[in-house]
A and B are shown apart, each in its own frame.
Chain A
Amino acid sequence: MYIYNELDKQLLNERVQQFRGQTQRFLNGELSEEAFLPLRLQNGLYVQRHAPMLRVAVPYGMLNSAQLRKLAQVSRDYDKGYCHITTRQNIQFNWPPLEAIPDLLQELSGVEMHSIQTSGNCIRNVTSDPFAGVAPDELVDPRPYCELVRQWSTLHPEFAFLPRKFKIAISGSQQDRAAIQFHDIGLQLVERPADQNADANLESGVKTERGFKIFVGGGLGRTPIVASQLRDFLPERDLLSYLCAIVRVYNQTGRRDNKYKARIKILVRAMGIDAFSVKVEAEWQRIKDRYPVLEVEEINSAQAFFSAPAYERFSEEVGAQELESQIADLLAPSQRLFKQWLARNTHAHKVAGYRSVTLSLKPTGVPAGDLTDAQLLAVADLADRYSFGEVRTTQQQNVVLSDVASGDLLELWLAAKQQGFTTANIATLTDITCCPGGDFCALANAKSIPVADAIQRRFDDMDYVYDLGDLSLKISGCMNACAHHNISHIGILGVDKKGQEFYQVMLGGSAGDVSGAAVGKVVGPAFSAAEIPAALETILTLYVSERIEGERFVELVKRIGLARFKRVLYPEKKSPELKSPEIKSPELRSPEKNSPATASPANPLAEGITT
């Protein structure tokens, strides 16, 4: 994991001081709300329904145990004893008082954490594959490049007031687990045979050349678009100058008259990828020779931070045997649960005798991605004991222990069970990704947490859930799509119809896994919250009856099309005005105890938590 040097520390301290001054001037009335807005957003600070919300950066999802313990303490001292993992791998605090935030940030800086550029119209935290460095299908570990991009984009003076937010994701594996084609820039690490005519390659005997396939203009929100390929291959040494060229073209030509048309995806679509490419290449030609290249030494030193931990040498067979004998010692019901957990929540590792483990933050009855202070401490202990002191956060709002020896799995399972982390539902129907929705977010049209809760309760038969196989279900409370509902196999979108909450259902979306990147399509008229579980059941029943051997849900949707689903979902003409019965939110940690004065939906300063 990356460790801060003197430069990083100095910059972070200066940033905390800068924000302390800005906050003080705002509280003293010396800085207008209008002027404070972009400044606080670039420090991840939103004004929300009940209180300010602070988003803390987790660079490409990596956290160590010291950071987890600090987050636990901060959530206790400055918040209500919990935090929330976002769909962009970051951490959110929902209740810190504004005047305490400079102190909170100072505390976080002690463990090399911050909220820099976690919001605002600037380059956001770089996201990546939660299995980076350990996935068997990985070509190149993306994390060193993520770190180089983090440094390049952090406090970048030219790109702090872009037309709109800007997100970069990097993947280094065959299967894309970072949804790179739904980012403003998606970088796919690739290798190609080295140009043997180049003198440098001839001398050094280099056989392959490393670089990036570059995608641009992908995005979600109200206009979901799969990115276009901008370049087949860019040598790694040119990465930063090329990024600069893309972002500069966007900064200078992206629309600024309408915030809904200001993302780079709209620019790329309006210009066409070819014309956009000509403009980027022209700018790049102008700057590339005067821009510092990434030298081999620089890349090597970034890679050194992500070298493999001190794995013990196990043979796959011995590990498997040991695990079998441990299972044999368990009572039958436990055996079954443990095996289910092994099948769903642990993943292949590139080192023999190791597995990656996902701690599920999706037990029924808890908002997706929420972690209490005690749970944060428990994750830190589990990481120290079983996974070299590090964890990763995922876009699905779970936590991954990336390096667990097979022989430790049972012990880990027993310990994690006590904290409620062992719901064996990873990548199944009930591993629901869910935005904070109308319970918290000022932008939301509808609640999302209670809908997720109702679905989990309806589908509590795990055998049925396992039989459905790999399935992604994501729920967003508005079209800003923070839960990424439109790239989910089943997506649910909260909409407002004459003051009532309704939910659109989309089918066939995919973030870019084995079935390729695709945007889901709306299946028909929206349902009330109360109708959603039954509608899902209808959809899944059709899948079960129509699937052919081994066919996954998303593949079936592609094969049989939406019309079949439409027929079973809307058998006869519905009455146009369905009344939406009230559904109750599950136990939220008492929002009403907060000062209602800070923000209300009508407050013009209140903004949504668009991740």
Chain B
Amino acid sequence: MKNTLGAMATPTRLIKHGELVETPLIAQALVDWQQAVIDTEQVGVGVSLLGETDLFESGLLEHTAALELIAVEFPSFTDGRGFSLATQLRQFGFKGELRATGAILVDQLHYLQRCGFDAFELGLEQDLTVALEALGAFSQAYQPGW
């Protein structure tokens, strides 16, 4: 499941706050952040961006207060940059929905959640029962939360 920003290749389902959401805001409706910076008028409900985005250099930080949703896309499940970006977004006060999209594994959901993601877009081939279970893989942690 390799997505390009704003154009979903396959149907997906959304888990948010530990539950399946029937009618999520679909990613197509999200504004590509790269375009949003060109035309800041477009920064509306939500933006989608790549995990590699630099929160500070991109100027995204100053807009986060106005956003309800930020979708962070993972180009591959071994690319962990989105984990750091999410942590930074939460550390710097983003309160809206933080959605992980793209190539994520159900076995990564727990760590994603601990980095501040509260919504996860999964492909149809991914097992929802396993996904919901994986969210609660650990009941404790050594590190401080964000």
Contact B138 A155 (CB under 8 A): yes
Residues of A within 8 A of B91 (CB): 286-287, 290
Residues of A within 8 A of B133 (CB): 21
Q: With A157-B83, A251-B84 as known contacts, state yes or no: A121 contacts B78, CB within 8 Å.
A: yes
Complex: how many Å from CA A39 to CA B78? 11
Contact B107 A162 (CB under 8 A): no
Contact A7 B80 (CB under 8 A): no
Contact A158 B83 (CB under 8 A): yes
Q: Which of A7, A158, A287 has the most B CB atoms < 10 Å from its CB?
A: A158
Contact B105 A291 (CB under 8 A): no
Q: Does A4 contact B (CB under 8 A)?
A: no
Q: From residue A120, how far is it (CB to closest CB) to chain B in Å?
A: 10
Q: Does A35 contact B (CB under 8 A)?
A: yes
Residue total for B at the interface (Cβ-Cβ under 8 A): 32
Contact A256 B77 (CB under 8 A): no
Q: From residue A421, how far is it (CB to closest CB) to chain B in Å?
A: 36
Residues of B within 8 A of A158 (CB): 80, 83-84, 87, 111, 115
Contact with B along A1-37 (1 / 0, CB 8 A): 0000001001100110010011001000011000100
Contact with B along A149-173 (1 / 0, CB 8 A): 0011011111111100000000000
Contact with A along B93-127 (1 / 0, CB 8 A): 00000000000010110111111000000000001
Contact B110 A157 (CB under 8 A): yes
Q: Does B16 contact A (CB under 8 A)?
A: no
Residues of A within 8 A of B112 (CB): 157
Complex: how many Å from CA A156 to CA B83? 11
Complex: how many Å from CA A24 to CA B48? 35
Residues of B within 8 A of A7 (CB): 140, 142
Contact B105 A35 (CB under 8 A): yes
Contact B144 A251 (CB under 8 A): no
> In residues 148-205 of chain A, which contact B (Cβ within 8 Å)?
151-152, 154-162
Contact with B along A128-164 (1 / 0, CB 8 A): 0000000000000000000000011011111111100
Q: With A25-B130, A157-B110, A157-B115 as known contacts, state yes or no: A10 contacts B140, CB within 8 Å.
A: yes
> In residues 14-49 of chain B, which contact A (Cβ within 8 Å)?
none
> Of all chain A residues, which has the CB nearest B111?
A157
Complex: how many Å from CA A11 to CA B143? 12
Residues of A within 8 A of B144 (CB): 291-292
Q: Does B66 contact A (CB under 8 A)?
A: no
Residues of A within 8 A of B84 (CB): 158, 248, 251-252
Q: Does B65 contact A (CB under 8 A)?
A: no
Complex: how many Å from CA A161 to CA B85? 13
> In residues 126-144 of chain B, which contact A (Cβ within 8 Å)?
127, 130, 133, 137-144
Q: With A157-B114, A161-B79 as known contacts, state yes or no: A39 contacts B142, CB within 8 Å.
A: no
Contact with A along B64-93 (1 / 0, CB 8 A): 000000000000011111011101000100
Complex: how many Å from CA A256 to CA B52? 11
Complex: how many Å from CA A31 to CA B125? 11
Residues of B within 8 A of A286 (CB): 91
Q: Does A601 contact B (CB under 8 A)?
A: no
Q: With A11-B138, A11-B140, A155-B138 as known contacts, state yes or no: A160 contacts B79, CB within 8 Å.
A: no
Q: From residue B136, how far is it (CB to closest CB) to chain A in Å?
A: 9
Contact A160 B52 (CB under 8 A): no
> Of all chain B residues, which has the CB nearest A18?
B137
Complex: how many Å from CA A270 to CA B105? 32
Complex: how many Å from CA A151 to CA B143? 8
Q: Does A38 contact B (CB under 8 A)?
A: yes
Contact A14 B138 (CB under 8 A): yes
Contact B80 A162 (CB under 8 A): yes
Q: From residue A350, how far is it (CB to closest CB) to chain B in Å?
A: 31
Residues of A within 8 A of B80 (CB): 121, 158-162, 251
> In residues 576-609 of chain A, which contact B (Cβ within 8 Å)?
none
Q: From residue A213, how far is it (CB to closest CB) to chain B in Å?
A: 25
Q: With A11-B140, A290-B91 as known contacts, state yes or no: A35 contacts B107, CB within 8 Å.
A: yes
Q: From residue B7, how far is it (CB to closest CB) to chain A in Å?
A: 23
Q: Which of B79, B80, B115, B127 has the most A CB atoms < 10 Å from its CB?
A: B80
Complex: how many Å from CA A292 to CA B141? 14
Residues of A within 8 A of B142 (CB): 7, 11, 151-152, 154-156
Contact B139 A38 (CB under 8 A): no
> Of all chain B residues, which has the CB nearest A292?
B144
Which residue of B85, B87, B107, B138 contacts A22 across the interface (Cβ within 8 Å)?
B107
Complex: how many Å from CA A290 to CA B130? 34
Contact A252 B140 (CB under 8 A): no
Residues of A within 8 A of B85 (CB): 252
Residues of B within 8 A of A155 (CB): 138, 141-142
Residues of B within 8 A of A35 (CB): 77, 105, 107
Residues of A within 8 A of B143 (CB): 152, 156-157
Residues of B within 8 A of A162 (CB): 80
> Of all chain B residues, which has the CB nearest A151?
B142
> Of all chain A residues, which has the CB nearest B52?
A252
Residues of B within 8 A of A121 (CB): 78, 80
Q: From residue B58, how far is it (CB to closest CB) to chain A in Å?
A: 12
> Of all chain A residues, which has the CB nearest B53?
A252
Complex: how many Å from CA A30 to CA B105? 12
Complex: how many Å from CA A252 to CA B84? 7
Q: Which of A38, A157, A162, A291 has the most B CB atoms < 10 Å from its CB?
A: A157
Complex: how many Å from CA A18 to CA B112? 16
> Of all chain A residues, which has the CB nearest B114?
A157
Q: From residue A255, how far is it (CB to closest CB) to chain B in Å?
A: 12
Residues of B within 8 A of A15 (CB): 138
Q: Which of A18, A155, A286 has the most B CB atoms < 10 Å from its CB?
A: A155
Instruction: Kindly list 9 other residue pairs between chains A and B, CB separation below 8 angstroms, not including A162-B80, A252-B81.
Output: A35-B77, A157-B111, A157-B141, A161-B80, A161-B83, A251-B81, A252-B52, A252-B54, A291-B144
The 7 closest A-B pairs by CB, nearest first: A161-B80, A157-B114, A157-B111, A151-B142, A158-B83, A18-B137, A251-B84
Residues of B within 8 A of A (CB): 52, 54, 77-81, 83-85, 87, 91, 105, 107-108, 110-115, 127, 130, 133, 137-144
A-B contact pairs, 29 of them (CB 8 A): A7-B140, A10-B139, A11-B138, A11-B141, A11-B142, A14-B139, A18-B138, A21-B130, A21-B133, A25-B130, A31-B107, A35-B77, A35-B107, A38-B78, A151-B142, A152-B143, A154-B142, A155-B138, A156-B142, A157-B83, A157-B113, A157-B141, A159-B80, A161-B79, A161-B108, A248-B84, A256-B79, A287-B91, A292-B144
